[in-house]
Amino acid sequence: MEAIVIIFISALISLFLGIMKKPTLVLLVSIVGLLVGALVQNYEWYFLNEKYHVLDFNDGNIQFLNLAITLTGVIILSGYKHFMEESATIGDFSALMLFSLSGGLCLIGFTDLFMFFLGIEILSIPLYVLAGSKKKSASSSEAALKYFYLGSFATALLLFGIALVYGTVGTFDVEKIGFVSVLFTDQLPSMFFVGVLFMLAAMLFKVGAFPFHFWVADVYQGTPSVFMSYMSSVVKLIGIYAFYRLFGMMFPGVETFWSMLIVIVIFISMFIGNLSALNQDTFKRLMAFSSVTNGAYALMAVLTFSSESEALLVYMIGYSFSVVALMTINSLANNDEDKLVSLSGIGYKNPLIGVVGIVALLSVAGIPPMTGFFGKAMVFYQAFEQHMWLVSFALINSAIGVYIYLKIAMTLLKKEENAPIIALNWSQQIVLSVSLLALLFGWTIIYV
């Protein structure tokens, strides 16, 4: 709760500082706000263990909260240069990101459908603006418009679904709905199932899974790099975790109904993401399709809900830090055309970029000993007992994925003597080092 308030306040302050044209101060306030928010929240969790009316930041949730806040901080740092170039609007950007994050935190800790809906709205609306933040670019506006229309449609579906569920059960409280769905499974009217279906559709849209994945590629491509990495790491993480908790806690009684649907969705999403990524030559589009695939792997965790969410946590650490590292490298080395070829030889000439790049790619491809491997192995391991065939196909997809990421790795590490040497400033060095550490040692969090 405190984290949301503090981050919200720091967003407001940075908005005003932006009007007063103090770009460095804006970033400082945002970063400090994130830090203080996370610290206070952790203090409260550790010593006071308080529970609010509709929010709960204990146990599993606090770790996702920490991860989301850390990632946002890292992304703001990685966009430092981009922000500084457009210092007139810097206050807006960082404030919008923080507003969006505070919505995301509601979504991490919700115990009530009302808070859930509120969180999803606060998370999404700033994103529509951020997607179109490159005002002179047509593709950016296209992305914003597309995202906005489709996103509002999905929200409408979600609201309709919530209304139908509420109409059946008579409560917004997630746990109570869970009890009802377990105790009266046989007596539930079809209205309830329609509600579940609508909510499922809306959530699939938010995490970008089949059959609602069409927006992902266009929106990711049009959005500026910084916000794209925010969308594909933090928003994805929060979306999937919310999905995980929502369906695991609310509808355990009718699991046979929705788990079958999710299995089909995962199966098709993996193949669509991978096969579409196979021949992409622009980096962002490739990452967009890769996020469809990785989202599908993460959805396997939804099938195996338990109070321990370590598998999903480790998986998301691996995936989101890979995305952040790769997007940072891409924005360092690439121009607006965003071609894969222009990364050629960068990693060979710049050791830090090379190491981080290859570690990130190996991690997202799921090759040990990176965090991505542990996450993937744990998620697959949990799902194996009930969904053996799904896991087998997921492993085949991993092999296709290896090809895709290997292609980038080989471009990046090509032995090319006249590749440019890139000077890194302090913020980029911090971003790359933090990502490297997280990708190499992030999986040790299961010991904590």
Partner 1 sequence: MELLIIPFALGLISFLVPKNNIRFFGLIGSIIPVILTCIHLMDYIPGTWIELYRCDSEIPFGLTFTLHYDGISLLMLLLTAFSFPLIFLSNYNRDSSQSNLFHALAFFMQTGLFGVFLAGDGVLFYIFWEFTLIPIFLILYWFGNGNYTTLVKFFIYTMLGSLAMLLSLIWLKQHAHSFSYGDLIAANLTEKEGFWIMSGFMLAFAIKIPLFPFHTWQPNTYSTAPMAGTMLLSALMLKMALFGMIKWMIPLAPEGLECMRWIVIILGVLGIIYGGVIAIKQTDIKKIFAYASISHLGLIAAGIMLFSQNALTASMIQLINHSILSIGLFLVAEILISRTGTQDITQMGGIAEKAPKFAFWFMIISFASVSIPFSAGFIGEFLLLREISEFKLSLGILAASTLVFGAVYMFRAYQITMSGHKENTQFTDLTWNEWLVFCVLGILALVFGLAPYLIGDLIKESAQQLTLIVQNNS
Q: How far is the CB of 273 from partner 1 (least distance, A)?
A: 17
Non-local (6+) Cβ contacts of 6 within 8 A are 33, 36, 37, 40
Q: How far is the CB of 65 from partner 1 (least distance, A)?
A: 21
Q: How far is the CB of 271 from partner 1 (least distance, A)?
A: 16
Place of tokens 């590749």: 419
Tell how far CA 373 is from the center of its chain: 18
**How many angstroms separate the CA atoms of 309 and 320, rounded?**
16
What number of other Cβ atoms are within 10 A of residue 341's Cβ? 11
Q: Tell me the Cα Rg of the chain.
A: 21
Are the beta carbons of 90 and 133 closer than 8 angstroms? no
Q: How far is the CB of 441 from partner 1 (least distance, A)?
A: 14
| 3 state DSSP class of 224 | coil
**How many angstroms separate the CA atoms of 46 and 72, rounded?**
23
* Nearer of residues 9 and 406 to partner 1, judged by Cβ: 406
SS3 content of the chain, % helix, strand, coil (to 5): 80, 0, 20
* Nearer of residues 125 and 329 to partner 1, judged by Cβ: 329
Token reading at 28: 């400082």
Token reading at 352: 């830090």
Q: How far is the CB of 311 from partner 1 (least distance, A)?
A: 8
Indicate if the alpha-carbon torsion angle 79, 81, 85, 88 is positive or negative: positive
* Nearer of residues 195 and 442 to partner 1, judged by Cβ: 442
Q: What residues line the site for partner 1 (CB under 8 A)?
A: 308, 310-311, 348, 358, 362, 367-369, 373, 377-378, 380-381, 384-385, 388, 391-392, 395-396, 398-399, 402-403, 406-407, 410, 413, 415, 446-447
Q: How far is the CB of 433 from partner 1 (least distance, A)?
A: 16
* Nearer of residues 85 and 385 to partner 1, judged by Cβ: 385
Token reading at 33: 């706000």
Q: How far is the CB of 404 from partner 1 (least distance, A)?
A: 10
* Nearer of residues 40 and 355 to partner 1, judged by Cβ: 355
β-sheet bridge partners, residue 110:
55
* Nearer of residues 214 and 348 to partner 1, judged by Cβ: 348
* Nearer of residues 23 and 372 to partner 1, judged by Cβ: 372
Token reading at 342: 């222009």
* Nearer of residues 5 and 399 to partner 1, judged by Cβ: 399
Place of tokens 């991978």: 274
Token reading at 336: 């607006």
Q: How far is the CB of 157 from partner 1 (least distance, A)?
A: 36
Q: How far is the CB of 398 from partner 1 (least distance, A)?
A: 6
* Nearer of residues 24 and 306 to partner 1, judged by Cβ: 306
Are the beta carbons of 332 and 324 closer than 8 angstroms? no
**How many angstroms separate the CA atoms of 60 and 245, rounded?**
10
Q: How far is the CB of 367 from partner 1 (least distance, A)?
A: 6
Token reading at 387: 């969904």
* Nearer of residues 148 and 380 to partner 1, judged by Cβ: 380
| 3 state DSSP class of 448 | coil
CA-to-CA dists, residue 432 to 74, 225, 324, angstroms? 9, 15, 9
| 3 state DSSP class of 282 | strand
Nearest to 226 by CA among 85, 422, 397: 85
